[in-house]
Structure 1
Amino acid sequence: DRIVGRAKLQVSPQDLKNVISRPIYNYLQHKFPEENFLPKFDLHHYRYPAKDKPEGIVFFFHDQSKHCGKYAHVAEYFADRGLEVFGFDLPGHGKSTGKLRGYFGTFKEVEQISKLFIEMVMTKFGYQDLPKFGAGICTGCVTILSLAMNNPNLFNGISLTNPILQNDGSVPINHRLVRFLGKYMPTLPALSVDFPSLQPFHDPLLLEGWLRAGLFIELDNYSYYFKNNMAKLKTPVFIAYGGNDIIVQPSSTKEFIDKIEIEDKFSICYDECNHDIYADAEF
């Protein structure tokens, strides 16, 4: 997947060739064994039980325009290694309802929903004494990092994949215009998104169309917050990113990694991978 406007302005033919040439994994072969097990939680949610007695819990956060079910194969990988996985579809995404498809509101609202979900899961399954981890991709990393910074004891560790955590100036929209639209008309279409037919299968839950103006002001505000508050991060962090990512510039990710002050951090760049590392068949 790619942002059309950005691809036209900043992605060279060779970059696009690198994206297209990567083998795509058919993640539709995998399903979460359990769904909607919390009667009082309104959003569509998932559980992948650990193969044996769980040794830890992973809460997974999906990307903008995607859905949690897209990462069932990742959850299965964790489950086979003793980690139980939980996640939910954002409002307006996947199988969750919402006032507008593809629009989840604000990251603060998502953070509040996420805390409620985590509390409900821990209460239902009695996993309070098990280590808890947050994992996600791209915009899902915004929620994870914000949760970790504002709740230092919530996670024992976090895993961020191709995180869009700082504004690298690559979105081809007039910055002042976006700030105005995002503040006063957050649901107004601002940037067209295209899902080209690169994968040999069809996922009906992936969203096409437009990204809303509110998303960009949210990303801008959180980028500023992360930049000036990294000292709040006390949770061990692992970051994985693709060297051919055309959505989040690798140089931007490297710069963000350098700003992390804690010593317990580790990062790895998969040079040949693009934005969606989890959909790369070789990865």
Structure 2
Amino acid sequence: MTLHVASAEPMQLYLQDARKYEYLTPEQERDLAVRWRERQDRAALDKLVGSHLRLVFKMARGYQGYGLPLADLVAEGNVGLMQAAQKFEPEKGFRFATYAGWWVRAAIQEYVLHNWSLVKIGTTAAQKKLFFSLRRLKARMQDLENGDLTPEAVESIATELSVPRTEVVEMNRRLGLDRSLNTALGEEGDSEWQDLLADDRPDQETTLAGAQERQQRQQFLKLGLGVLDDRERQILVARRLREEPLTLEELSQHFHVSRERVRQLEVRAFEKLQKAVVASAREQQIAAAGKGRELARA
């Protein structure tokens, strides 16, 4: 069986495929499921899945309001349908459509959550339920504006879905402010919203220059630390180069000297480090200037 979901007219082809399959009786459905599970009968799987393609299409259409392509929603629903066929146990007495519906809905909802918004929508079951129920509840309350909900509406929705009021307010704002990057602009629709977004990331030249500068600083620091004795180096690293610096008291106990002595050693080590770094930078500048003169003469 071929599931057509990508072509010039994807949904027409998909529905043509779907109409080739007849609806199944409970007995036919059970027989096909058993043949697939026990004998890996591909023809049985084809009939079982094919007879439920229209179910996938119907469920996918229910999620068109999120601005995602219907073909993509159907494709994700088909994935859920195949997963359901792999795990269906007919002896438990449920119709395959009932069982598969859960898998199809879960697959489509997961796709919507991952692709509808640039902002992470929600991870808990309650947050997902809120995301997919908020529009329906707002419509029932005749409150479809993109602005903030009234306190009464927030309270009603939070109570019905058993979620905190703050989550209702936050989700409503996300649903109202998010905008697809592929939204067409202009009367001709020849450009998209994403075409107007500036790329704030540094260009390749800036990135390379930054990496070279960081490498140079690390080299200078390494040379500077090399002029310190072991105790000076340990104190300077502990006081100035650690994410969580040690206190003077901790170092005084470690080296068995007073806190004032530790402070003096830290200051002296830092001054020696600065002088070594400045000297190294000056030597590098002189070497670069000499190389530049040689290139100019050549």
Which TM-score applies when normalising by structure 1? 0.22
Which TM-score applies when normalising by structure 2? 0.21
Structure with greater proportional strand content: 1
Name the larger-Rg structure.
2
Structure with greater proportional helix content: 2
